[in-house]
Amino acid sequence: MTRDHTRAEPGATERRITGASIRLDGVAKRYRGQEKPAVERLDLDIEAGEIVAFVGPSGCGKTTTLKMINRLIEPTEGRILIGDRDVTDENPDRLRQSIGYVIQSGGLFPHWTVAKNVGAIPRVLGWDRARITERTEHLLDLVGLDPDTYANRLPKDMSGGQQQRVGVARALAADPPVLLMDEPFGAVDPITRVRLQDSLLGIQQELGKTIVVVTHDFEEATKLGDRVLILSEGGHIEQYAPPAEILANPASPFVAEFIGSGATLAQLTLTRVRDVEHEPVVTASVGEDAHAVLERARARGHDRIVAVDARGRPRAWPTLAEVATKPQISDYIDGRLPVVGEASTLNDALDTMLAASQGGVLVTDGRGRVRGSLRIDTVMAVIRSYTAEVRAEDDEPSYVSHTEGSADDGRRSS
């Protein structure tokens, strides 16, 4: 088990990076008639292929800073560089066509189908129809929506999470090196949010874009960000570092207060599902003979099997007794199936487990294919090892080392 947050597992080093670096050089935004600037001279370097999360209390200028990167808000002073290109004076529409942009709830065009939404910028760029169709199908697949089912849907016929996925697909349509996201998962329920976050991490793993995410949720920032930028009022940088470092060494009292929660919980947020051991699962396709599946499962000593669809995505996670009640593997879809992505945090996994009855979660890869399962015991073992470490570092006396009569009763009430 590694506790290293950086994505240094095999394969990560060979990952193709298609993103571009972003540099903000002394960027400031002042509004007329306001004494204090919204953002005061901010310098920031974002490396190509990284996810950076901007986080801070409301009014700290995180959204303003984000919108200055694609010049939805024109900076009052300073320069913006994407890759080696100084974009400060570029035509703003052309600039934005080369930067993906995702807002809360997706911001889809309600009068257009999903396919037309995704193809909006390729159409402006004059791509031919065949290429747009191909690109749209590829992107819908990438964000986890079946093109045959969803390409001709209208936004109002989709859930908030699905709309958000289409929003991401639309932003990626012209293959921009940079993706900006303004509180993208703020308006969806917690379970959908975890799935969307996992999906985004999977996409990032696959595409290697540079992604900037604005969020007000520090936990989300630590989950998504390779680096987290903590801002305080006026766009003042409090700390800009990988999440593990921020948790270990908060740069200022502001940061310490902002990140709040205890070290153990934070560690659960830093540890990814892929960093801990998974149990293998027995999978079976819909329509397979139940008998053969049962035998296969028993031979490997499993008490559950995973019913998967043609793409290997889990549909249900029945016990062997449940499987035995039908002659074939049913096409039943469990709407409350506990699933987390490999990029999910243990915190997400624990949340999902506690809400489900199976005593564990299924682990899926970026495309939603099942990879294994994670049991609640495994997570508990991780928590125990952390608490043990935290105790060891503590200089508090333990039960054993306690000197009789030295207990400080006053501390209990504090």
Partner 1 sequence: MDLWQYVRGREETLLFLTYQHASLAFQTVLVGSIVALAVAVAVYRLPVVSSLTLTGSRVALTIPSLALLALLIVPFGLGVTPSFLMLAFFAAMPVIGNAVVGLRSVSPAVVEAARGIGLARWRILAFVELPIAWPVILSGIRVSTQMIVGVAAIVAYVLGPGLGSLIFNGLSRLGGTNSVEMALTGTILIVAVALVFDALLVLLGRLTISKGLR
Q: CB of residue 62 vs partner 1: minimum separation in angstroms?
A: 16
Nearer to partner 1, 93 or 409 (CB): 93
| CB 60 within 8 Å of CB 54 | no
Q: Considering only residues 24, 80, 101, 222, which one is a binding residue for partner 1 as defined by CB under 8 A?
A: 101
Nearer to partner 1, 63 or 199 (CB): 63
Nearer to partner 1, 154 or 265 (CB): 154
Q: CB of residue 97 vs partner 1: minimum separation in angstroms?
A: 3
How far is Cα 288 from Cα 290, in angstroms, rounded to an integer? 6
Torsion, CA 142, CA 146, CA 152, CA 153, rounded to 10: -100
**What's the longest Cα–Cα distance across the chain?**
83
Nearer to partner 1, 181 or 307 (CB): 181
Q: CB of residue 96 vs partner 1: minimum separation in angstroms?
A: 3
Q: Minimal CA–CA distance to 151: which of 197, 119, 185?
A: 119
Q: Considering only residues 78, 83, 107, 372, which one is a binding residue for partner 1 as defined by CB under 8 A?
A: 107
314 forms beta bridges with 308
# residues near partner 1 by CB under 8 A: 32
DSSP at 266: H
Nearer to partner 1, 83 or 312 (CB): 83
Q: Considering only residues 113, 283, 344, 358, which one is a binding residue for partner 1 as defined by CB under 8 A?
A: 113
28 forms beta bridges with 77
Nearer to partner 1, 106 or 250 (CB): 106
Residues 158-197 interacting with partner 1 (rule: CB under 8 A): 167, 170-171, 180
Does residue 96 belong to the site contacting partner 1 (CB under 8 A)? yes
Which two three-digit tokens encode residue 81? 């560089």
For tokens 């990140």, the residue is 259
Mark the segment that binds partner 1 (CB under 8 A) among 9-17, 45-53, 150-158, 285-293: 150-158
Amino acid, single-letter form, for residue 81: L
Around Cβ 41, how many Cβ atoms within 10 Å?
15
Burial (CB count <10 Å: 0-12, 13-18, 19+), residue 271: buried
How far is Cα 202 from Cα 222, in angstroms, rounded to an integer? 16
How far is Cα 150 from Cα 302, in angstroms, rounded to an integer? 36
3-state helix vs strand vs coil in the chain, percent to 5:
35, 20, 45
Q: Considering only residues 20, 55, 82, 121, which one is a binding residue for partner 1 as defined by CB under 8 A?
A: 121
| CB 60 within 8 Å of CB 261 | no
Q: Considering only residues 18, 88, 104, 264, which one is a binding residue for partner 1 as defined by CB under 8 A?
A: 104
Q: CB of residue 390 vs partner 1: minimum separation in angstroms?
A: 44
237 forms beta bridges with 231
Around Cβ 369, how many Cβ atoms within 10 Å?
14
Which two three-digit tokens encode residue 254? 């502001």
Nearer to partner 1, 180 or 221 (CB): 180
Please work out, in degrees rounded to the nearest 5, the angle formed at the alpha carbon of residue 343 by the alpha carbons of 335 and 197. Answer: 60
Q: CB of residue 187 vs partner 1: minimum separation in angstroms?
A: 10
Q: Considering only residues 9, 31, 94, 324, which one is a binding residue for partner 1 as defined by CB under 8 A?
A: 94
Q: Considering only residues 19, 106, 119, 225, which one is a binding residue for partner 1 as defined by CB under 8 A?
A: 106
Does residue 103 belong to the site contacting partner 1 (CB under 8 A)? yes
Q: Considering only residues 31, 74, 85, 111, which one is a binding residue for partner 1 as defined by CB under 8 A?
A: 111
Q: Considering only residues 155, 208, 314, 368, which one is a binding residue for partner 1 as defined by CB under 8 A?
A: 155
Interface residue list for partner 1 (CB under 8 A): 70, 72, 93-101, 103-113, 120-121, 124, 154-156, 167, 170-171, 180
